[in-house]
Amino acid sequence: MNVAVAVRFRTWNIERVCFATGAVAAGALAAAACLPGALQFALWQDEVASARAIAEPQPLALLRHVARTESTPPLWYALAWVAHRFGVAIVDVRLLSVAAAALLASATAVAARRVVPRPAALLAGTAVALGYQFDFHGRELRAYELAALLAVALAVAASRGGTVLAAVVAAGSLTHYFFLFSVLAVLLWRPRLWRPIFAGLVPLALWSPLLLRQYAQHRFSFIGAFDLRAVATTYWLTFVRGQPHTAVVHTLAPLLLLAGVLVGALVLARGSNEGRLWALLAVVPVAAAALMWAAGLRVYDTRNLIVVGPFAAAAVVCLLAHLPRRTAAAGACALLMLVGTGYMRGNRTTPVPYDRIAAALVAEGWRQGAPIGVFGNVDALWGPLEWYLPQHPRLVPGGEGRHPVFVVAARGPSWRAVVRRAVAVRYVRQTLVARLGSPTALLGARTLVGMRAP
């Protein structure tokens, strides 16, 4: 009998060690996926907005800047600002997101073990490590990855209540406004937790006048009218960049994943009381955000709903764990193929090298005040060029009569017309940078003039 107990104890320890190793491996996989982009890619438009906030010299200036230009609360910016004050270069503050991505993958696996078997929990952690939204935002100078990590912390803290729950609610609600939908899920799960939750929302209440100022600036104008298909594809687009191109698969694949999440959430809810919490965290934020969108508040965006990703993954693997072994194995392989495809598609196209484009303009003789003709998405180019050009000039529309000597053109029909008039041409991946022989009116181009920064 003692031998049997010893063998059982040894087996239990081996299983725990293997699981811990797997959880750490999931975090390492996430870090390995995010780190190259964090270290190599140029800041893009939204990241430039973050960089400008982080560059503020004083804390109050930082808060004013966030209220004026951003659509999220200030906690992540404050953490980034502190890191920068301690000597971390602004672009390297992206490592906060890399760290959050690694912790998120490991934490998903460890926390999911409370509601699903160990192999399924590790599969959920792997899905979060490689899923598109997690990989993309895990290398960004933005708050999304931290918001997802705090959502997992919320699930753990909810079972404890008290001060821990209040602290997590405070941190999450000051990181991303959509975290409040996750808080709503916790209240639906256990209404008696309202005291620590309300205590945790006090800091957000103090920030709320500035929240209203942020919303009034209409930074969500790119979001159109309510679209049920966009809601139905939310879980798919969390793990895969874009939808399948084949007509039938394009429609069915996201719906199958949606069904898998919903059925898996039902299985989670029936399995245990804590499983019911995870089910609510997987479904309620999407449903609540969709209702707000249908009511006319245009704030629905897949990246804002990154907070549901870990719980959606747990729901799917819970469903797989309840299927016959062969079917479950096939489903696990399909899930790994899905997130692997999401990772590969997300990294198939290298981001625009804005830093090299700015360097090419300077190499061709660009100076302060010289007009730049732009063919392509001028709004995407505007902010990064301001950041990477010398002395951070303020770029403004050139107006009529301002004919450029310098041209930036995305790959397309405009290249030929520009090359014919150019005396010097540089190709920066899919972007052409040219210097013309003399100031020239360019049909179809928008002109930007670099004014001295205020």
- Both ends of the chain: CA-CA distance in Å? 80
Please determine, for residue 414, whether its predicted confidence score (pLDDT) is greater than 90. Answer: no
- State the Cα–Cα distance between residues 69 and 52, nearest whole angstrom: 10
Pair 172, 150 in one domain? yes
- State the Cα–Cα distance between residues 69 and 50, nearest whole angstrom: 9
Pair 12, 153 in one domain? yes
Residue 314, token pair as written in the block: 């747990």
Pair 89, 230 in one domain? yes
- Dihedral over alpha carbons 111, 115, 119, 125 (to 10 degrees): -40
424 by Cβ neighbours in 10 Å (0-12 / 13-18 / 19+) ranks as middle
What range defines the domain where residue 368 resides? 354-451
Give the total number of structural domains in the chain. Answer: 2
Q: What does the pLDDT average to over 395-420?
A: 82
CB 115 within 8 A of CB 275: yes
Prediction pTM value: 0.92
Pair 74, 181 in one domain? yes
Question: What average pLDDT does the structure give for the chain?
Answer: 90
Choosing from 300, 326, 346, the residue where a domain stops is 346
Give per-residue pLDDT as tens, 95-133. Answer: 999 999 999 999 999 999 999 999 999 999 999 999 999
Pair 120, 217 in one domain? yes
Q: How confident is the model at residue 247 (pLDDT cuts 50, 70, 90)?
A: low
Give per-residue pLDDT as tens, 295-332. Answer: 988 889 999 999 999 999 999 999 999 999 899 999 99
41 Cβ contact list (under 8 Å, min separation 6)? 139, 350, 351, 353
Pair 296, 363 in one domain? no
Pair 334, 368 in one domain? no
- State the Cα–Cα distance between residues 449 and 141, nearest whole angstrom: 27
Q: What does the pLDDT average to over 59-77?
A: 94
Choosing from 346, 374, 396, the residue where a domain stops is 346
In this prediction, what percent of the chain has a pLDDT beyond 70? 93
User: Which ranges of 70-201 would DSSP assign to H, the alpha helix?
Assistant: 75-85, 95-112, 118-130, 132-137, 144-158, 162-173, 179-189, 194-200
Give per-residue pLDDT as tens, 356-379. Answer: 999 999 999 998 888 898 988 888
* Ranges 24-28, 124-128, 449-453: which has the least confidence: 449-453
Amino acid at 313: A
220-229, 277-286, 329-338, 434-443: which has the highest mean pLDDT? 277-286
Pair 113, 253 in one domain? yes
Please determine, for residue 1, whether its predicted confidence score (pLDDT) is greater than 60. Answer: no
CB 371 within 8 A of CB 398: yes
Residue 329, token pair as written in the block: 């194995």
Q: DSSP label at 92?
A: G
- State the Cα–Cα distance between residues 180 and 373, nearest whole angstrom: 43
CA angle 182–222–341, rounded 5-degree value = 65
Please determine, for residue 142, whether its predicted confidence score (pLDDT) is greater than 90. Answer: yes
Q: Pick from 299, 307, 179: which is nearest to 235 by CA?
A: 307
CA 283, 288, 290, 294 torsion-angle sign? positive
The partner residues of 432 in beta bridges, in order of sequence, read 409, 427
Give per-residue pLDDT as tens, 48-62. Answer: 999 999 999 999 999
Give per-residue pLDDT as tens, 434-443. Answer: 999 888 888 7
- State the Cα–Cα distance between residues 111 and 248, nearest whole angstrom: 36
Strands (E), 338-421: 371-375, 394-397, 406-410
380 by Cβ neighbours in 10 Å (0-12 / 13-18 / 19+) ranks as middle
Pair 117, 218 in one domain? yes
The partner residues of 425 in beta bridges, in order of sequence, read 434
- State the Cα–Cα distance between residues 134 and 26, nearest whole angstrom: 13
CB 54 within 8 A of CB 84: yes
Please determine, for residue 138, whether its predicted confidence score (pLDDT) is greater than 90. Answer: yes
Give whole-number Cα distances, 171 to 293, 297, 401, 451, in Å: 25, 24, 51, 39
Choosing from 328, 346, 364, the residue where a domain stops is 346
- State the Cα–Cα distance between residues 191 and 120, nearest whole angstrom: 29
255 Cβ contact list (under 8 Å, min separation 6)? 232
Give per-residue pLDDT as tens, 29-38. Answer: 999 999 999 9
- Dihedral over alpha carbons 138, 143, 148, 151 (to 10 degrees): 160
Q: Pick from 276, 304, 311: which is nearest to 290 by CA?
A: 304
| pLDDT in the model for residue 343 | 84
DSSP secondary structure, 299-343, as one string = ---GGGGGGGHHHHHHHHHHHHHTS-HHHHHHHHHHHHHHHHHHH
| pLDDT in the model for residue 442 | 80
Pair 43, 182 in one domain? yes
Please determine, for residue 452, whether its predicted confidence score (pLDDT) is greater than 80. Answer: no
Pair 241, 318 in one domain? yes
Pair 304, 155 in one domain? yes
- State the Cα–Cα distance between residues 395 and 418, nearest whole angstrom: 22
